Chains A and B, each alone.
Chain A
Amino acid sequence: MEILWIIILMGYAMCVAQSIFALTAKRPVMRRTALAALAIALGAHTAWLLLRGLSTGRMPLVGTQEMSAFLSWGLVLSTLIAYRWYHANALKAFIFPIVLVLAAIAAISPGPTGQVQEFSNTLQSILLPAHVGLLLLAYASFFVAFGAGVMYIIQERELRHKRFRTIFYRLPSLDTCDAISSKAMAIGFVLMTLGIVGGVWYSYSRYHVYWQAGPLEIFSVVTWLLYLIIIQSRINAGWGGRAAALASIVSFIIVICSLVGVRYLGHAF
């Protein structure tokens, strides 16, 4: 398992270096090498998740190590999907540093210790991992929206200052940044809704209550409302461009800060 993490970290590190360099370099270098490194790292990453799942007989979504591994895997996947849809190569430079950090956290964290939750029926054993997995994928999507928002702000700055450095030519157009951001946010919102439904259902099935009013639950609902408002304003008020980009950045920062806050208050998934 150790060797897999070495491969994964080396592969992602290479992608991070190449993608950041490509943003400012006159000529793209080592594009193919970085692509090969990404393919190998993603393969190893997927293999690790599969092996962990097979050896424990459950979804690899328990504890810091598995959740970081799964979240970073979801981020790579979302970035690749965004690339497939919008051909925005520059996005990698904004997402992969976090992928690398999360992968590093997963690599050095110990596996889940102590008693892993026992489920009293199959429904619960499906609902809890679905709930956690969907929420993690939703955060991955929101992070892509955040990355696209950052690209929008940088590109807008270049246009306003009329200083066209290399990065201006490397970043996608404003419309593309906007499209990535709004689509990622919409997908994230759907995933989050499903994740919350899964959580509520699980709670009912296990504790026979829908709502326990814990900090995490309140936080989830607030986040959900926040994104609902942003998406709604985008659609109805024709809220595009800079404001939407800023909203995707700010909302993500709020989500991360409160998520960290909630975890440190002592409540975990």
Chain B
Amino acid sequence: MNIVLVGLSHKTAPLEMRERLAFGEPLLSDALSRLADQEIVDEGLIVSTCNRVELIASTPAGADQGLNYLAEFLCHFHKLAPATLNGHLYKHVDSNAVKHLFRVASSLDSMVVGESQILGQVKEAYQHAINAGTIGRVLSQLMHRALSVAKRIRTETGVAQNPVSVSSVAVELARKIFEDLSDKTVLLVGAGEMGELAARSLIDAGTNKLIVTNRTAERAEEIAGKYSGGAVNFEAFYDVLPSADIVLCSTGSPDYVIRPGETKRALKSRKKGPVLFIDISVPRNIDPGLASLENAFLFDVDDLDSIVKTNIRDREREAQRAEVIIEAEVQGFVNQLRSLDIGPAVVEVKELLSVIVISEFKRNRKRLGALSPEQETAIEDVLIPALVNKLSHPMIVHLRNAARDGKPTQMMDELRKMIRID
């Protein structure tokens, strides 16, 4: 029994190739049932996202055959010549395959380390495979372990902590100033794409109201309409400044649009705590002098970028700790899987031994003389099984150790030779 994995990701293949090889949801159940042909592959699973396609299978036919089958399946299904995939596919067997899956689920292999989407996608892929009936004993254990490892890494390391995109940093800053965003108003000055993006993540984070202002009023109204906010005249935005808690600025203006003098007055008339100013325009549109005003917190693009960079570095450092956990978990899982594999061997050893014990008992039965029926059953139900258990115990321990070293078959052959009556 082998676990095999074939796949490609943003690290090995360009986007257009990933697109061609993706298994969209409508294709998935058909693909899964064709993948698990029961001859080479008896259990199969497909993880397909915009960044990766992974085929994972358990094969009774041997590792090489399994890998070739998966690679061929990938080409066949998408009607591609095998040569086009040369150099883009990676192939992993057993503990390497397990490790790769654990790393993927824990988001260590993601473009942004620690992003949370991938875990959901892996869960979904597992659910699809369950529905398609292509999950058995091996893959179900593998997937359960993968999901729990991912969870463990999330809680025990900092790979998923602290935001790593400009928009999410803006949200984090807002939360560190206001805590509760549900009664906060966002003022968007300038209706560029970046500004809209940042405003949207704030709205997604639960802010109450959006006010948009732009030199061309139509565009302001368009965005305001999209997020059920209000639009105000560009010349009049200082009038609404006191009601804004978060000011996002992203106009194409070459000069400062928001100046300290007017802002100071606005803050005074506001009569409540701090205001967050985020300037994502280049060149800057908010006068840096604003930062020295009491209760005004100003962040420009460089500030946000440097926070992002620090956080990414932190995550990468934490990822190294995660790798150690993965290493240990892979070892644990492989051992668990192998000791499961010796189940049939254990039964065989016990059967061989009980054959010997029973035949010896029958041969020497007469010497025991007359026995009561109770004594007879005691021998058959208690004594003989106890003898078999006692005798087989050291052998099973050896078997388990051999399995851990990856040599259960050799050990079983040895044992058969030792026990054989003939």
Residues on A lying within 8 angstroms of B by beta carbon are 26-27, 155, 159-160, 162, 164, 168-169, 172-176, 178, 237-238, 240-243
**CB atoms of A172 and B272 under 8 A apart:** no
Give 18 CB contacts A-B under 8 Å.
A27-B157, A159-B297, A160-B291, A162-B299, A164-B307, A169-B161, A173-B175, A173-B178, A174-B274, A175-B180, A176-B179, A178-B273, A237-B271, A238-B270, A238-B271, A240-B272, A240-B295, A241-B274
Give the dominant DSSP class at A's interface: helix
A247 shortest CB reach to chain B, Å: 13
Question: Once bound together, how far apart are the Cα atoms of A243 and B156, in whole Å?
Answer: 39
Residues on B lying within 8 angstroms of A by beta carbon are 156-158, 161-162, 173, 175-180, 270-274, 291, 294-295, 297, 299, 303, 306-307, 310, 318
**CB atoms of A175 and B178 under 8 A apart:** yes
Residue of B nearest to A179 (CB): B179
Residues of B within 8 A of A169 (CB): 161-162
A245 shortest CB reach to chain B, Å: 10
**CB atoms of B177 and A175 under 8 A apart:** yes
B151 shortest CB reach to chain A, Å: 15
Question: Once bound together, how far apart are the Cα atoms of A92 and B47, in whole Å?
Answer: 45
Most buried by A among B295, B299, B310: B295
Residues of A within 8 A of B270 (CB): 238
**CB atoms of A243 and B273 under 8 A apart:** no
B302 shortest CB reach to chain A, Å: 9
Residues of B within 8 A of A174 (CB): 176-178, 273-274
Q: What's the A-B contact tally at a CB cutoff of 8 Å? A: 53
**CB atoms of A26 and B158 under 8 A apart:** yes
**CB atoms of B273 and A27 under 8 A apart:** no
Question: Once bound together, how far apart are the Cα atoms of A158 and B180, in whole Å?
Answer: 19
Residues of B within 8 A of A173 (CB): 175-179
A160 shortest CB reach to chain B, Å: 7
With A164-B310, A178-B273 given, is the CB distance from A159 to B176 under 8 Å? yes
With A164-B307, A241-B294 given, is the CB distance from A159 to B177 under 8 Å? yes
Which residue in B161, B173, B295 is a CB contact (below 8 Å) of A241? Answer: B295
Residues of B within 8 A of A168 (CB): 176
A29 shortest CB reach to chain B, Å: 11
**CB atoms of A175 and B294 under 8 A apart:** no
Residues of B within 8 A of A178 (CB): 273
Residues of A within 8 A of B175 (CB): 173
Question: Once bound together, how far apart are the Cα atoms of A39 and B175, in whole Å?
Answer: 31
Q: A174-B274, A175-B177, A175-B178 given; name 11 further pairs at CB < 8 Å.
A: A27-B158, A159-B176, A160-B297, A162-B306, A172-B179, A173-B177, A174-B273, A175-B179, A237-B271, A241-B273, A242-B295
Residue of A nearest to B179 (CB): A173
Question: Once bound together, how far apart are the Cα atoms of A168 and B314, in whole Å?
Answer: 14
Question: Once bound together, how far apart are the Cα atoms of A173 and B175, in whole Å?
Answer: 7
Question: Once bound together, how far apart are the Cα atoms of A174 and B273, in whole Å?
Answer: 9
Residues of A within 8 A of B272 (CB): 238, 240
A85 shortest CB reach to chain B, Å: 12
Residues of B within 8 A of A26 (CB): 158, 318
Residues of B within 8 A of A243 (CB): 294
Question: Once bound together, how far apart are the Cα atoms of A174 and B274, in whole Å?
Answer: 8
Residues of B within 8 A of A162 (CB): 299, 303, 306-307
Question: Once bound together, how far apart are the Cα atoms of A243 and B162, in whole Å?
Answer: 29
Residues of B within 8 A of A237 (CB): 271
Question: Once bound together, how far apart are the Cα atoms of A155 and B177, in whole Å?
Answer: 9
Residue of B nearest to A177 (CB): B179
**CB atoms of B178 and A27 under 8 A apart:** no
Residues of A within 8 A of B303 (CB): 162
**CB atoms of A155 and B176 under 8 A apart:** yes
Residue of B nearest to A162 (CB): B303
Residues of B within 8 A of A242 (CB): 294-295
Question: Once bound together, how far apart are the Cα atoms of A173 and B205, in whole Å?
Answer: 15
**CB atoms of A27 and B156 under 8 A apart:** yes
Question: Once bound together, how far apart are the Cα atoms of A176 and B178, in whole Å?
Answer: 7
Q: Which 9 A-B pairs have the closest CB atoms?
A: A238-B271, A173-B179, A240-B273, A241-B273, A175-B179, A241-B295, A176-B179, A174-B177, A175-B178
Question: Once bound together, how far apart are the Cα atoms of A27 and B96, in whole Å?
Answer: 29
Residues of A within 8 A of B307 (CB): 162, 164
Question: Once bound together, how far apart are the Cα atoms of A242 and B299, in whole Å?
Answer: 18
Question: Once bound together, how far apart are the Cα atoms of A172 and B177, in whole Å?
Answer: 9
With A155-B176, A162-B299, A168-B176 given, is the CB distance from A175 to B273 under 8 Å? yes
Question: Once bound together, how far apart are the Cα atoms of A242 and B272, in whole Å?
Answer: 11
Residues of B within 8 A of A164 (CB): 307, 310
Residues of A within 8 A of B271 (CB): 237-238
Residues of A within 8 A of B318 (CB): 26
B184 shortest CB reach to chain A, Å: 10
Residues of B within 8 A of A172 (CB): 179
Residue of B nearest to A168 (CB): B176
Residues of B within 8 A of A241 (CB): 273-274, 294-295
A99 shortest CB reach to chain B, Å: 26
B263 shortest CB reach to chain A, Å: 15
B242 shortest CB reach to chain A, Å: 11
Residues of A within 8 A of B273 (CB): 174-175, 178, 240-241
Question: Once bound together, how far apart are the Cα atoms of A155 and B180, in whole Å?
Answer: 16
Question: Once bound together, how far apart are the Cα atoms of A238 and B270, in whole Å?
Answer: 8
Residue of B nearest to A158 (CB): B176
A167 shortest CB reach to chain B, Å: 11
Residue of B nearest to A173 (CB): B179
Question: Once bound together, how far apart are the Cα atoms of A175 and B175, in whole Å?
Answer: 9
Most buried by A among B270, B272, B274, B306: B274
Residues of B within 8 A of A240 (CB): 272-273, 295
A262 shortest CB reach to chain B, Å: 34
Question: Once bound together, how far apart are the Cα atoms of A169 and B158, in whole Å?
Answer: 12
Residues of A within 8 A of B310 (CB): 164
Residues of B within 8 A of A175 (CB): 177-180, 273
Residue of A nearest to B295 (CB): A241
Question: Once bound together, how far apart are the Cα atoms of A179 and B127, in whole Å?
Answer: 45
Question: Once bound together, how far apart are the Cα atoms of A155 and B176, in whole Å?
Answer: 9
Question: Once bound together, how far apart are the Cα atoms of A11 and B157, in whole Å?
Answer: 28
B348 shortest CB reach to chain A, Å: 47
